[in-house]
Amino acid sequence: MKVGFVVNPVAGMGGAVGLKGTDGADILREAVARGAQRVSPHRAEAALRAIKDRGLEIEFATCGGEMGMAELESAGLRGRVVHIPGSPSSRTDTVRAGKAFLAENVDLILFAGGDGTARDLLDAVGSAIPLVGIPSGVKMHSAVFALTPEAAADSVEAFGKSGTTREAEVMDVDEESFREGVLQAKLFGYARVPDDTTHMQSSKMTYHSGSADDESEELGQYVAESLEKGVVYIIGPGSTTESIAGHLGLRKTLLGVDVYLDGKTLAEDASEKTILELLAQHRDARIVVSPIGAQGFIFGRGNQQISPRVIRKVGVGNIMVVSTPTKLRNTPILRVDTGDLTLDEALGGRRKVLTGYKRKKLATIE
């Protein structure tokens, strides 16, 4: 099988530092100034190592340096450079790489990035070449991404055996509005992906029905009334968690992570660094998260500020998962993708999800 491989080396850098993306040179500079670390090269290497472990026979066409060849070499795999990116690289290089993959007649494109990278490849190849995304961005609303880097290897293997594909939505959001707490997702088109629902994620769904809003209000009120004195609460993004803050009489950044203690806000739209600093000052803490609709992720999508270091500091046993019954019915399996496989295993299994006033339901986390 011939695979085109490309990495957006700056994808996901804004997540842990609370920037919700890295679109644009100014935002990237701000991410670096805040101490952001590279994410996508490591996740790309994890997928490549899984491919190598599976013994898949693949001929890689790739880009020079950190856009592909460096990660292949780090994973002990070989590739042939078909595009040399500029310095620094840009989305133009992703588009040119896609066109080079077309000329090379690759069977599949494996890429590490986020929704913006998926859009660039869709612009370059349309539906001519199927895509598998190694999830490395902050948002990842599109349905072209595997569930985890290791699942990307599984999906490549499944495609190699069956060769069958299906349509998948390519979505993206306006990052500027996203940083202001407004989610404006837009469908940009349909790509082809392996017909592999086991290892590929679905697109994100949101819920706007009156009954779901009522459920969110009930759940938010109950959680707000149940918060313990002297305990720091790290509350993830989402409309359900926003309702909790609303019942406390506090502001909540809809798409960010906020930290509260005894009815007061310790930090709004907090970064990983800020959360760790607060945890160093307060011993007792809880994490409250709600799954992304349909995709089911409770960690690893849009809340990278709640990093493995934060989760370990708080403790796996001090995580509260909340979901309205409507959302949970449409999300039968919850998922985690923290980038730390040992932690992901510890978070997995059967867990009680709070769904309403003194109501809990068992859910499976993978």
Tens digit of pLDDT for each residue in 207-241?
443 456 678 888 888 999 999 999 999 999 988 89
* Residues paired with residue 191 on neighbouring β-strands, in sequence order: 168
Sign of CA dihedral 366, 41, 85, 4: negative
pLDDT at 365 over 50: yes
pLDDT in tens, 60-75: 999 999 999 999 999 9
159 and 264 housed in the same domain: no
Query: Mind giving me the DSSP string for 258-283?
Result: EEEETTEEEESS--HHHHHHHHHH-S
Confidence of residue 85 (pLDDT cuts 50, 70, 90): very high
Q: Which residue has the higher pLDDT, 282 or 172?
A: 282
Q: What is the mean pLDDT of residues 269-285?
A: 95
Q: What is the mean pLDDT of residues 290-302?
A: 86
Query: Which pLDDT belongs to residue 138?
Result: 80
223 and 88 housed in the same domain: no
Query: Which pLDDT belongs to residue 41?
Result: 93
User: Is residue 263 a part of any domain in this protein?
Assistant: yes
**Measured distance CA(289)–CA(320) in Å, rounded:** 6
Confidence of residue 349 (pLDDT cuts 50, 70, 90): very high
**Measured distance CA(36)–CA(54) in Å, rounded:** 32
199 neighbors 154 (Cβ within 8 angstroms): yes
Q: What is the pTM of this model?
A: 0.74
User: Is residue 205 a part of any domain in this protein?
Assistant: no
pLDDT at 206 over 50: no
In 3D space, the residue among 135, 113, 119, 96 whose CA is nearest the CA of residue 22 turns out to be: 113
* Range with lowest mean pLDDT among 44-48, 316-320, 329-333, 358-362: 329-333
User: Is residue 204 a part of any domain in this protein?
Assistant: no
14 and 48 housed in the same domain: yes
Within 196-235, where are the H helices? 210-226
Instruction: Supply the range of the domain harboring residue 103.
Output: 2-194
User: Is residue 199 a part of any domain in this protein?
Assistant: no
216 and 93 housed in the same domain: no
User: Is residue 203 a part of any domain in this protein?
Assistant: no
216 and 167 housed in the same domain: no
User: Is residue 201 a part of any domain in this protein?
Assistant: no
152 and 297 housed in the same domain: no
* Range with lowest mean pLDDT among 47-56, 79-88, 236-245: 236-245
C-alpha dihedral, 321 to 325 to 327 to 329, nearest 10°: 110
Query: Which pLDDT belongs to residue 22?
Result: 56
145 and 243 housed in the same domain: no
72 neighbors 59 (Cβ within 8 angstroms): no
pLDDT at 285 over 70: yes
Domain count, the chain: 2
**Measured distance CA(236)–CA(289) in Å, rounded:** 5
Query: Which pLDDT belongs to residue 210?
Result: 42
Query: Which pLDDT belongs to residue 269?
Result: 93
Any idea what DSSP says for residue 203?
Answer: P
Query: Which pLDDT belongs to residue 338?
Result: 94
217 and 185 housed in the same domain: no
94 and 184 housed in the same domain: yes
**Measured distance CA(259)–CA(274) in Å, rounded:** 9
Nearby residues of 43 by Cβ (< 8 Å), 6 or more positions away: 12, 112, 134, 135, 136, 149, 339
Q: What is the CATH number of the domain that holds 80?
A: 3.40.50
113 neighbors 8 (Cβ within 8 angstroms): yes
* Range with lowest mean pLDDT among 76-80, 131-135, 196-200, 206-210: 206-210
**Mean pLDDT score across all residues of the chain:** 88
Percentage of the residues of the chain whose pLDDT score is greater than 90:
68
Query: Which pLDDT belongs to residue 209?
Result: 39
Q: What is the mean pLDDT of residues 126-140?
A: 91
